[in-house]
């Protein structure tokens, strides 16, 4: 191959990459909608757990809080809340947010699911 052909190939390749990036990032980027919280990054999962904790402070319903936390995976609600509390402490969350998470953690550590069996 001559150097002129190599230059043409390189230019064509660069144009193709540029057009692909423009299409993928500007014209038709991927937009995630209606995804479950377990697919989120850790920081967004912690934000979700904080929202659950804030809702818990309003209604004090551990069943609802545990059900909301169950969306995040197979870990226990207490383990999820502990992880969120550790993340919040490491990453400079406000003292109020940490106390809110601590309140949820206390509730989840003592939480016992209500049995659905008949008595």
Q: pLDDT of 54-90, one tens digit each?
A: 999 999 999 999 999 999 999 999 999 999 999 999 9
Residue 115: pLDDT band (50, 70, 90) is: low
In this prediction, residue 37 carries a pLDDT of 86
In this prediction, residue 81 carries a pLDDT of 98
CA 58 to chain CA mean position, Å: 22
Residues 17, 36: Cα–Cα separation, whole Å:
33
In this prediction, residue 113 carries a pLDDT of 84
Residues 23, 28: Cα–Cα separation, whole Å:
6
Task: Work out the number of other CB atoms within 10 angstroms of the CB of residue 118.
Answer: 4
């Amino acid at each position: 191959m001559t150097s002129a052909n190599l230059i043409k190939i390189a230019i064509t390749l660069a144009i193709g990459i540029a057009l692909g990036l423009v299409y993928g990032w500007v014209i038709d980027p991927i937009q995630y909608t209606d995804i479950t919280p377990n697919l989120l990054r850790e920081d967004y999962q912690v934000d979700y757990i904080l929202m659950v904790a804030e809702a818990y402070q309003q209604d004090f319903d551990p069943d609802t809080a545990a059900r909301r936390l169950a969306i995040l995976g197979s870990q226990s609600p207490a383990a999820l809340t502990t992880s969120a509390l550790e993340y919040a402490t490491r990453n400079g969350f406000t003292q109020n947010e940490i106390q809110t998470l601590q309140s949820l953690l206390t509730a989840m550590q003592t939480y016992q699911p209500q049995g659905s069996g008949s008595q």
